[in-house]
Structure 1
Amino acid sequence: MYSQRQHAYAPTPYVPRANLSANINLDEEVKLSATSAERDLYDSLAEIYSIIITLDALEKAYLKDSIPESEYTETCSRLLKQYKSSLADESVAAAFGHLENFKREWDIEAPRATERIRIGLPETTSRQVDPNASADVTLVVNATENFITLLDAIKMGLAGKDTLHPLLVDIIQSVNKVTDKDFDNKGKIIQWLITLNQMRIAQKLDEDQLREFQFEMDQAYYGFKQILKGD
């Protein structure tokens, strides 16, 4: 028979004190928001987070040729639209702040999504479907009308992002359907597109910016007409 080992000390049994007992109902749902407005705000911020992550994954898939161009373009356009729509709400935009701050707060990298959001257009809009095809008359007319519409809006003093940004998007998309060649001041269209894209929805260009914008879009329109002439 083995002799029972004696402990060097007498263990004291643990007896929980009554004042340490939990007062929390573990079956009760923990609410992150106190009001419906707060809940809607958190839902919107969560949606923006998912859009950024999804957009970054989409850009990676496109670079690896893992997704057809048509599907990429449609999905990317939809995500960018959802991103802008979410930030159109002033309370959401105030809580969101700047994209870089939001990424830092929630530990997001997403460099490809960041660049795509900065430009505000899918990568495919900068590429012509058939570079060897001659410019279709209808496409030329459409691009020309888009230039004229923008310039008329500027002359009327319309300076808000919500007015100018969609018109500028129409121009770059219609121009790229006509030609994939660079022309004088085409880069200015992209620069202003990025500038407007980074503004808040309620922001407007000041008088000096609007004058510069009009001058550079006039020059871009002239450059577009010159390339159509083969100059």
Structure 2
Amino acid sequence: MIPRQPYAPTPHSYVPNSMLSATINLDEEIKLTDTRAERDLQDSLAEIFSIIVTLDELEKAFLKDAIPEGDYTEICERSLKQYKSLVADETVSKAFVGLEEFKAEWDLEVPRATERIRIGMPSTTLATTSGPPPNSASNNGSGKNISGTLILEATQNFITFMDALKLGLLAKDQLHPLLTDVIQSVNKVTTQDFESRGKIIQWLIALNQMKISEELSEDQARELELDINSAYHGFKSTLE
């Protein structure tokens, strides 16, 4: 019986390369990039990775009531803005390709973040309830006794958005921020549902899924104008 050796035997024909150790400096810093542009790109992609993971954890925490609604909304809005700003860069966009491609490349399982990025706004912005809206001193859900400043802000945002359409502003990066202002200002006035309120949300999601360079067609623009005009009149009816 051959006794077991405590280690794998080394072939007698193997001769260690004494020069190999001399060519490797373990204290030497290894550069992952050669230029400033490459380094900036890697930093941007790393930031996107961090934002996606953060959004997923944020959604989990909010669903478990582990974070206040106000904090959730603030962090979510800021993260989404940072994400959109990063992927809007042409160089970053080419390397990023798309959310699904990025997730596959880095083996990311983030279903909640994926849905939040697809929608493009916090879940608190989409929510409607039958209770009184925030920042109102006394409200029975009909829209009465609300700050005139908040009503004026919402009205101006509706008008600004419809004016943008009439001026021919049809690109995603032109319309999405304006429509976001509309729904956010409306939510400050009333959480009550009204005619075509859901259309605002649908168009926000549709615009968010467009590429930065994409524009609405003339037919889409006309349909959007009709829907937002209907929502504007629906919003005004809650104030009567």
| Smaller-chain TM-score bracket | 0.7 to 0.9
Deviations 1:80-106 (A, max 9, x none): 111111112111112111211111111
Higher Cα Rg: structure 1 or 2? 1
TM-score w.r.t. the length of structure 1 is 0.86
Which residue is equivalent to 1:107?
Answer: 107
Instruction: Kindly state the Cα deviation for residue 195 of structure 1 after the two structures are TM-superposed.
Output: 1.4
1:217 maps to a residue whose letter is: I
- Residue 29 (structure 1) aligns with: 29
Question: Matches of 2:2 and 2:14 in 1, distance apart?
Answer: 23
Contact 2:129–2:191 (Cα < 8 Å) also in 1: no
Q: Which residue of 1 aligns with 2:155?
A: 144
Structure 2, unaligned stretches of length 5 or more? 4-8, 133-137
**Separation in 1 of the partners of 2:195 and 2:91?**
41
Structure 1's 190 and 127: CA in aligned 2 closer, same or farther, altered over 3 A? closer
* TM-score normalized by the length of structure 2: 0.83
Pick one of 206, 215, 232 that aligns with 1:204.
215
User: In 2, distance between residues paired with 1:72 and 1:198?
Assistant: 22
Q: Deviations over 1:159-211 (max 9, x none)?
A: 12222111100110111122222222111111111111122333322222212
Deviations 1:89-138 (A, max 9, x none): 11111211121111111111111111111122122223479923423132
Query: Shift in Å at residue 6 of structure 1?
Result: 9.4
The corresponding residue for 1:16 is 15
Q: Name the CA shift for 1:184/1:11 in 2 (closer, same or farther; >3 Å).
A: closer
The answer to whether the aligner puts 1:48 opposite 2:48 as a matched pair is yes
Q: Does 1:95 align with 2:95?
A: yes
1:131 lines up with 2:131 in the alignment: yes
The DSSP-based 3-state class of the residue aligned with 1:151 is: helix
Sequence identity (%): 58
Instruction: Name structure 1 gaps, 5 residues minimum.
Output: none
> Within the alignment, does 1:214 sit opposite 2:225 as a pair?
yes
CA distance in 1 between counterparts of 2:127 and 2:11 reads: 78
Is residue 75 of structure 2 the alignment partner of residue 64 of structure 1?
no
Give the whole-Å Cα distance in 1 for the aligned partners of 2:28 and 2:233: 67
Alignment counterpart, residue 191 of structure 1, candidates 202, 212, 237: 202
- The alignment covers a number of residue pairs equal to 223
Aligned pair in 2 of structure 1 residues 39, 227: CA closer, same or farther (>3 Å)?
same
Match of 1:220, SS state, is helix
The answer to whether the 8 Å contact 1:139/1:177 transfers is yes
Over the aligned positions, Cα root-mean-square deviation in angstroms equals 2.6
CA change 1:87–1:11 in 2 (3 A) is closer
The 1:16/1:55 distance shift into structure 2, 3 A limit, reads same
Partner of 1:224: 235
